[in-house]
Structure 1
Amino acid sequence: MNKKTIRLLKIIIPLFLGIFLIWYSLGSATPEERQQLWESILAADKTWVALSFLLGTLSHMSRAWRWQYMLEPMGYQAGFKNRFMAVMVAYLANFGIPRSGEVLRAVTLTTYDDIPFEKGFGTIISERVADLFILIAIVLVAIFLQTDDLLAYLHQQNINPLYTFLIFFGLVGIIILGLNLVRRSTWKPFAKIRKLAKGLLEGMRSILTMEKKWAFLGHTVFIWTMYVWMFYVIKFCLPETASVAAGSIMAAFVVGSFAVSATNGGIGVYPLAVAGILIFFGVPDHAAEAFGWISWATQTFVVLVFGGLSFILLPVLNNRK
């Protein structure tokens, strides 16, 4: 199997998995259940949907603003418009090819602001590390608020969290061993990798050398606060979910955050995962599924609108380059 075929499969398999899950979930429901789901979505309070859209937009704007704090220590400047559009085309690209957005985001600033790819990509990796710590904190809060229920849910699903941590630390160990091999080897292809890694490390170190560390931290907290609130306010769209406890919503947010990476943009998986945990917490099936679909659709609409516009406007606003 050649590399082109493998790359194509990486795109097609997650997409078809998402489509299959949509077909399976709707196909396994009775006509009455599908009708209830559709009626719940149509009856949702659109004011809360609009607020969720606004909160999602603010989070993306904050991410674009925060990026400059990491570029400055290396002596680079990029306008806010270009940074924001780069962030949005990255999210949109992930719907087509999972995890390709981070590469495209760095390429965008290389193209329009002459920032070396490896350094820009290094800053993006550091951002993701900072985001990971915030996500871990949110997971801990969700566990604290719903410890017994979450443990019961994991047991019911035959999921052992210990395996997840072991896999994570195993991957970290493999990466460290691989980096040591590259650093010590005299093989010529590894020399090119070392040159690329040097630029990546410089971009990653910018998080330590930036002057506005507190502003960076403030934006990081703001970004994830907006993510949580974007998700949380959806509960007020439906009468059946309006009184759901904050802990249950937080648990559903955590599950949804991990589900996004399973398929292109979380298609199929995200609504089902969110609905599954809400059903476990006692929310009626049709309302839980409607919550999952409305939440996913709102987040997706933000990306489609601003990502699509960014693809069009980037070359137009930078036509001199």
Structure 2
Amino acid sequence: MARSNSLRLSIGIIIVGMALWYVASIADLGVMARILSQADPWWTLACIPCVLLSHLVRARRWQTLLQPVHPDTGLWTAFNAVMIGYAANTIIPRSGELIRPFVYSRREGIPLATSISSVIVERVLDVIALLIGIVLVLGIEHDKVTAAIPNFSPTMLFGSLVLPLIVLLVLIGIVVFTSAGPAMIDATVRRFHARTADAMSSMLGSVRAGLSVITTPSLWFRLAIESAGVWVLYILPMWFVWLALPIRSYPAFSFVDGAIVLVVIAIGVTIAPTPGALGIYQSFAQAALMRIYGASPEEGLAFGVLAWLVNYGTALLSGGICLVIEMRGGLSMRDMMGRGRVEPTSER
């Protein structure tokens, strides 16, 4: 695992270096710095509550995902776990997807397999929402997206998003709706070691528990509303960053334009994840503003830098604060490394 993380981090650093070199090579950094210095502080600060609220809604949605099996989980514990996970993602891509369910399971007394499988469902919802956003944006402003990403094609979309989603949905369907898992354990492992088979069956049961929202239709509408809320709160900072910067090439920039820029950035981050999306985020934001809205390279880069700071900077700082809060509540670095156990508290 450590070797895999080191390799992933090394590849990410190489991609970051190449992306940063590219965006800097076509922009005057001095001009970009002057543009940033003229940013309206109030519009910039307005982004921060939107970012924090988006993560709070995400934490609430996580509670909804776990409600069929754990209806009494704490919202603020979920929020702390989400922020710690996003802070970890800023350092090592995707690492937070394991860290945050671990933190939540330790603090709430939830089986780790249940917590992880609920995060898998959450990510499925995110991918579906992103695909819906891409389809809507392509339907409304196809030329703008293809202008920002010249090599964009359905094949690229299928390979990076649709195919993994299909595979994941098939696996989830097998686990939730069939007896293939228990039957396979009984036919193989149980013949040689009953205790191991019992442990595997128990883990499979915990995984199914985390996926049980799929068979609870009464929660689907709430999940849809919460998912929509997350994405609306993702779009607002894009709009506010544009309003904060002295970019005059496209004065009619609206909430819809913020959604277009967000989709372009999301495609880039999905295709080439780097630590904190650094480099990729800025380069795709710069391309979107230059090719769609006629901004200069310096204006596009300034937008990408400021949007990245208010999103990832807020997540990193808040995640650090949330980690301190959880450590004061009983979580330790020993637990984070998986060598301890934190009993659930009664705090909510």
Partner of 1:272: 283
Query: 8 Å contact 2:84–2:96 — kept in the other structure?
Result: yes
Within the candidate set 100, 106, 113, 2:101 is matched to: 106
| Pair 1:161 & 2:170 matched | no
Match of 2:300? 288
**What secondary structure, in the 3-state scheme, does the structure 2 residue paired with 1:240 have?**
coil
Aligned mates of 1:29, 1:134 — CA distance in 2: 33
Instruction: Sort the Cα spacing of 1:75 and 1:252 in 2 relative to 1 into closer, same or farther, 3 A.
Output: closer
- Cα deviation 1:74-111 (Å, max 9, x = unaligned): 13532222111000001011122211212111111221
Deviation at 1:126, TM superposition (A): 1.3
The residue type paired with residue 114 of structure 1 is G
Structure 2 equivalent of residue 19 of structure 1 = 17
Q: Deviations over 1:136-188 (max 9, x none)?
A: 2222222133123333554xx33322343156554456664897997757443
* CA RMSD, Structure 1 to Structure 2 (Å): 2.9
Q: Secondary structure at the match of 1:146?
A: helix
Match of 2:317 in 1: 305
Given the two structures, how large is their TM-score scaled by the length of structure 2?
A: 0.80
Once the two structures are superposed, what CA deviation does each residue of 1:209-253 show, in whole Å capped at 9, x if it has no partner? 275443333222111110111222111012315615445433221
Distance 1:139 1:253 in 2: 10
Code of the aligned partner of 1:265: G
Q: Give me the whole-angstrom Cα distance separating, in 2, the residues matched to 1:245 and 1:8.
A: 41
Q: In the comparison of the two structures, how many residue pairs are matched?
A: 314
Equivalent AA in structure 1 for residue 138 of structure 2? I
Question: SS state of the match for residue 99, structure 1?
Answer: coil
Q: Which letter maps to 2:315?
A: V
Separation in structure 1 between the aligned mates of residue 146 and residue 268 of structure 2, nearest angstrom: 18
CA contact (8 A) 1:231 1:295 kept: yes
Asked if the contact 1:60–1:84 (Cα under 8 Å) also holds between the matched residues in 2, the reply is yes
Q: Structure 1 residues 275 and 230, CA, compared in 2 at 3 Å: closer, same or farther? A: same
Q: 1:231 aligns with which of 218, 231, 238?
A: 238
Unaligned runs of 5+ in 1: none
Unaligned runs of 5+ in 2: 191-195, 332-341, 344-348
Summarize the Cα distance change of 1:260–1:163 in structure 2 as closer, same or farther, 3 Å threshold: closer
Match of 1:116 in 2: 111
Offset at 1:132?
Answer: 2.1
**What TM-score, normalized by structure 1, do the two folds share?**
0.86
Moved over 6 A (4+): 177-183
Alignment counterpart, residue 264 of structure 2, candidates 251, 255, 262: 255
State the distance in 2 between where 1:131 and 1:177 align.
17
